[in-house]
Structure 1
Amino acid sequence: MNLPTPLPDAGRRHDIDALRALAFLFVILYHVGMYYVADWPWHLKSPHAAEWLQWPMRVLNIWRMDLVFLISGVSLGFLARHQGTAALLRSRGARLVLPLVFGMIVIVPYQAYAQGVANGLVAPGFGAFLLRYLSMAEPWPKRAFDGAEFGMTWNHLWYLPYLFAYTALVALTLPLWRSPAGQWVRRRFNALRGWQLLLLPVLPLVAWTVLLAPHFPPTHNLVRDFYLHAIYLTVFLYGYWMGVDTGIWKELERLRRLSLVLAVAAIGTLIAVRVGARGSAPGFVIDLLRTLYMWLAIATILGHGHRHLNRPWPWLRWANESVYPWYVLHQTLIVVAVVWLAPLALGPVLEPALILIATIGGCWLLTDALVRRVRWLRPLFGLTRRARHTGAAPQAQDQSPLSLASTRST
């Protein structure tokens, strides 16, 4: 079995930066699609909801957040080389918890308000709603909006507390990961080659799915979301182990075509089984195909990304600093666009196109014209403050706050 090779000291992992930005762009597209996909609950639903969207959305949904958590783990692998437990907790707490609190108080409330009004359980008038929402003095009607039972909600920002929890867990156990036993686990994982790399990482994910999914369905409740925690923490650790190793990345690049063929075969078989069996297929078969496709899709994306994206793209510097504010802003902008455009009855083609344009345009305008330019706003969106005397871009490790670290191996 080949031993892993450490990354050289020169060069930045541009492919990780690029994949991070593209992954969060997919999150925006996915959330626009959630407004239109039939029979899937979301904050608001379109009268143009379509059943045919379910499979395209499912094909994306199976791996989209798993990829995001794996990339975050990769970035933590870079950062943890130079920081101890206290430094990691201090720096990551500020970069994740502060935007979460700000988002729950300022960005997310309009989503809850629009959902509550649409459900007929909240009276029109955003000002009155916001006062009640922030005071948390009076309980909301049941099912007024997602998270109403807690008084406040984080909606799409759930990723931030999950990411902080996993980061804190790794930070608090750094002595374990740096011990001979921890290093042995890392070396064994990074030494996987060929079929082992495409199949063995699936086994823990299948086990979590079979054992936990029937009893703990996804809730995005940080305390009781045991199934999603098991899946996301596992792929987060995969990324953390992979971080600075070059051998496993070269192998993923070498296997990229094979993993693509196998991923297509896995999702094709899953669709055929689900459609042909009409709900009577054995649960284990569905779980196995779904989890296998998830890992093969991630391996394909990482392999092709390492092959084609690992270069200093002109847009990458801007994207690295913009991805966090876009993530914080995008879903509220989607809801605002829906509320404005739905009464115009523009139809199932023009309306989603305008919602997507309004969302991307709003993210771009607010981020570039406001968030990145106002020093006191920057930390509220996960960015570091710029020095007053310079207009230079922040250092590399500050351009990718959702990544938790620079992907430069220095």
Structure 2
Amino acid sequence: MEARRYDIDWIRVIAIGLLLLYHVAIGFQSWGMLIGFITTEQTWPSLWIPMSMLNVWRIPLLFFVSGMGACFALRQRTWAQLLPERAKRILLPFLFGMVAIVPIHVYLWQQYNDLETGYAPGPGHLWFLGNLFIYVLFLTPLFYYLKRGGGKALARKAEVFMRSPLGLLPMFALFILEVLILEPFPFERYAMTWHGFFLGLLAFFFGYFFVWCGAVFWNMLLRWRWLFLLAAATLFALRLSFFQSLAPNYLVSIESNCWVLAVFAFGYRHFNRPSCLLSYLSQAAYPVYIVHMVFLYLGSLLIFPLGMPVPLQFVLLLLFTFLSCFACYELLIRRVRFIRPLFGLKT
């Protein structure tokens, strides 16, 4: 059995950290209010350049990582064990968050905008958890078939094709086909859309498939890591300079997957080692993500009216959000036994 992959744990932690950073930055964009964020009157337009780079791969990366996690989990479980375990890990926090976490930050948003306040349950920022559980239900029979040996012929073909980046062409083709059929606008509109659902489904499946392919895939990725990074950076530069961030969806899809492959390649090269910090952050990342919108909105309520320079507002809001989230995790979620399962932790 393959040893634990610490690089994938690190990538999951980093992806969630980048997602929190991105959400903080939305508060400094004029369009943030259109998607339900608390925004400052003094915007910071130049933040959009790094945001637009992150935006096309931050959510797909999480779905890829989740598919990889399903592959590792199924190696030690039957399908009958995996489904209840994933229900506790994904579905329970999703349902709890809908009724107990999301209404809090919706209330804070209503307060900031002087709107009529009320209890408003909903998926909010946890929408992708609902998608993940559907993917588990839908794809577990296929994954179990592959695990039980039904995919031996496919495994032999994969071992041949994955020796070269050309073996990734079917994956790129399916992602391109998805955007050609659904025509999302913009590409980054993932939350509670059919585009987000099917893009996540593909990413979840190929995340599983990459781990299932084994060392041949990861060795190929390592050899060609600079190609993926160069392709991603070139397509981003083209999107930013020639298309003013609104490139055709098929090009954005290629760029997104090149970023993802580059992240996995460099992560495999540099991060596949254990550490005490990783052990802590791996446990903390999921609960921190669940609660972060509450502290982000609370911090926005406190900091935005102060009228200080925008860069200072950004730094203070970032510190407030991260420190408050980790304080909540460390002092409450981590230590209270009956609360832990509500945030995806074992009792």
1:37-80 Cα deviation digits (max 9, x unpaired): 23343321211223333332121010001111101101111111
User: Equivalent of 2:230, from 261, 266, 271?
Assistant: 261
Report the structure number with the largest CA radius of gyration: 1
1:315-342 Cα deviation digits (max 9, x unpaired): 1111111111111111111011001111
Q: Which amino acid aligns with 1:25?
A: G
User: Equivalent of 2:172, from 186, 198, 202?
Assistant: 202
Q: Which residue of 2 aligns with 1:325?
A: 287
Distance 1:35 1:322, change over 3 A: same
Q: Which residue of 1 aligns with 2:94?
A: 100
1:161 aligns with 2:123: no
1:314 to partner: Cα distance = 2.8
1:246 aligns with 2:238: no
Distance 1:75 1:219, change over 3 A: closer
Matches within 5 A, 1:96-245: 96-123=90-117, 129=118, 133=119, 151-174=120-143, 176-178=145-147, 182-185=151-154, 187-189=156-158, 191-197=161-167, 199-214=169-184, 218=189, 220-221=191-192, 225-244=193-212, 245=214
**Structure 2 CA distance for aligned equivalents of residues 197 and 173 of structure 1:** 21
Q: In 1, are the aligned partners of 2:190 and 2:197 still within 8 Å (CA)?
A: no
**Structure 2 CA distance for aligned equivalents of residues 189 and 37 of structure 1:** 44
**Structure 1 CA distance for aligned equivalents of residues 74 and 191 of structure 2:** 27
Q: Which residue of 2 aligns with 1:37?
A: 29
**Structure 2 CA distance for aligned equivalents of residues 360 and 216 of structure 1:** 29
1:85 to partner: Cα distance = 2.6
**Structure 1 CA distance for aligned equivalents of residues 186 and 271 of structure 2:** 37
Q: In 1, are the aligned partners of 2:112 and 2:301 still within 8 Å (CA)?
A: no
Q: Which amino acid aligns with 1:340?
A: L
**Structure 2 CA distance for aligned equivalents of residues 317 and 219 of structure 1:** 30
TM-score for both structures, normalised by structure 1: 0.78
User: Equivalent of 1:274, from 243, 250, 257?
Assistant: 243
1:15 aligns with 2:20: no
Distance 1:51 1:216, change over 3 A: closer
User: In the comparison of the two structures, how many residue pairs are matched?
Assistant: 342
Q: Looking at secondary structure, tell me which structure has more helix per residue.
A: 2
Report the 3-state secondary structure (helix = DSSP H, G, I; strand = E; otherwise coil) of the residue aligned with 1:49: coil
1:362 aligns with 2:332: no
Q: Which residue of 2 aligns with 1:55?
A: 49
Q: In 1, are the aligned partners of 2:63 and 2:204 still within 8 Å (CA)?
A: yes
User: Equivalent of 2:296, from 334, 340, 343?
Assistant: 334
Distance 1:165 1:183, change over 3 A: farther
TM-score for both structures, normalised by structure 2: 0.91
Distance 1:113 1:189, change over 3 A: farther
1:183 to partner: Cα distance = 4.7
Q: Which runs of 5+ in 1 are unaligned?
A: 1-8, 124-128, 134-150, 280-284, 386-410
**Structure 1 CA distance for aligned equivalents of residues 302 and 185 of structure 2:** 40
1:189 to partner: Cα distance = 4.5
**Structure 2 CA distance for aligned equivalents of residues 266 and 55 of structure 1:** 14
Q: Which amino acid aligns with 1:33?
A: A
Q: In 2, are the aligned partners of 1:321 and 1:383 still within 8 Å (CA)?
A: yes
Q: In 2, are the aligned partners of 1:14 and 1:310 still within 8 Å (CA)?
A: yes
Q: In 2, are the aligned partners of 1:158 and 1:220 still within 8 Å (CA)?
A: yes
CA RMSD of aligned residues (A): 2.3
Distance 1:175 1:214, change over 3 A: same
User: Equivalent of 1:66, from 52, 60, 65?
Assistant: 60
Q: Which amino acid aligns with 1:194?
A: S
1:280-309 Cα deviation digits (max 9, x unpaired): xxxxx6222211111111111000000000
